[in-house]
Amino acid sequence: MNDPLELTVIMYHYVRDRGDEAEAGSGIPGMLVQTFESQLDDLAKQHTFVTWSDVRMAILGNRPLPSSACLLTFDDGVLDHYINVFRILRRRKLSGLFFALERCENEGLTLPHKIHFLLAKLGLPGLRDAIWEKLDSVQRERFTQAEKKYLLRYPPVSLDKRINLLKSVLQRDLSTELNPLLGNLFEECIGSEKETARNYYLNSEQIQEMSAGGMHFGGHSHSHPWFDWIDSATREAEIKASADWLQVVETEPWAFAYPYGSLSIDAPQLLQAHGFVAAFTTNTQLRQTDPYFIGRLDGEEIAKYGHRYV
C-alpha cells in the first residue's frame, strides 16, 4: 500500500428482528432489519460502496478506490448474515465482507457467544450469581481481583459498562476454566449447546451460496480470543485455523478482523505469513495508513447516536 486509503468501513454483528429465524427466541438483541435497510439508504447517499476485491486491489496498489468509498463488514459468521443481510445486499446488488469464525459442524459455541445467550436468558445479576456458585474458592479470589482491575476501565455508570466489566472477567482472566463451566450452565438453562451452535453459525452450504452470490469472506480466528491475552503460539494457531478454512472459501490473499478488535504487536507479521494482506480493527478511523490496522465504524452506534461522517 503506497498511499493512505480514504475508506469508510462499517462493522455489523447481529441484524435480526425479534422472533425471526436468526433470533430464534434467544432474546439476544441486534440491529433491526428495518434499521439496517435505512442505514444502507443513508450510506448510499454519501458513499460509493466497494467490495473486498476493490479494497484488496487498492491495498496491493493495482487500482485506486473511488472517492467516498465504503465497505460493509459483518463479524462472527452468524445466521443473521444469511437470513437477513445476504438477502438485502443481493437485492441491492451490493457485496459484504463477512468475517466468519472457523467452526466445525459439531463444535459448540465460542465463549463470547455462550455469554450472549446466557446474558439474554439470566440477565446480568443472574449470570454473575450462577457463575459465582460454580467457582471454587481460588477461582472466586481471581474473579474478585479481576473485577477490581476492570472497575477502573469500566466504571459501572450504565448497564452496558457493567456488562462489559463482567465480560472482561469472563473472556480474559477466567476464560480457560470458564469455557467448560459455561457449557454446563448453558445445558442447564438453555439446552443443547451443539444443537444451538449448528443453527447459530453459518454452515458450509450457506457460505457457498453467499460466495456464489458475490459475498466475500475473511478470517476472524477459531475461538474468538483476546489477542492481547493469549501467547504468540496460540495467536498463530488461531490465525492459521482461519487461513486453512479460507483456502476453500475465498481467493487468497485474505482479510482478517481481530476478535474484539484486540491487537498484539506480532499479529501483522503472523497474518502476513499466513496469506492475509489486511486486518480490520474496531478503532474508528476513516483514513487507513496501515493495511493491518484498518479502522471501522460500528453500524449500531451510528444508528443509536448518529455520526458526523455518515
Which residues contact Zn ion by CB under 5 A?
Answer: 75-76
Question: Does residue 112 have a cis peptide bond before it, meaning omega lies within 30 degrees of 0?
Answer: no
Q: How far is the CB of 120 from Zn ion (least distance, A)?
A: 17
Q: How far is the CB of 259 from Zn ion (least distance, A)?
A: 5
Cell of 87: 438477502
Q: Which residue has the cell 502476513?
A: 272
Q: 63 and 56 in contact (C-beta within 8 Å)?
A: no
In the complex, the smallest distance separating the C-beta of residue 257 from Zn ion, rounded to whole angstroms, is 7
Shortest distance (Å) from residue 251 CB to Zn ion: 23
Q: Which is nearer to Zn ion, 5 or 257 (CB)?
A: 257
Task: For the CB of residue 112, give the shortest distance to Zn ion in the complex, in Å.
Answer: 7
129 versus 160: smaller Cβ distance to Zn ion:
160
| For Zn ion, the closer CB: 65 or 77 | 77
Rounded to the nearest angstrom, the gap between the alpha carbon of residue 224 and the centroid of all alpha carbons in its chain is 8
Closest separation in Å from C-beta 48 to Zn ion: 27
Q: Which residue is nearest to Zn ion (CB)?
A: 75
Beta-strand pair 5-12/297-298: parallel
Q: Is 85 exposed, middle or buried (0-12, 13-18, 19+ CB in 10 A)?
A: buried
Name beta bridge partners: 298: 11
**75 or 250: CB nearest Zn ion:** 75
- What is each CA distance from 272 to 52, 240, 243, 276, 278, in whole angstroms? 17, 11, 11, 5, 8
Element (H, E) at 100: strand 97-100
DSSP code, position 66: P
Half-sphere exposure (Cβ direction) of 153: Cα atoms closer than 13 Å: 12
Nearer to Zn ion, 76 or 193 (CB): 76
- Residue closer to Zn ion by CB (options 150, 256) is 256
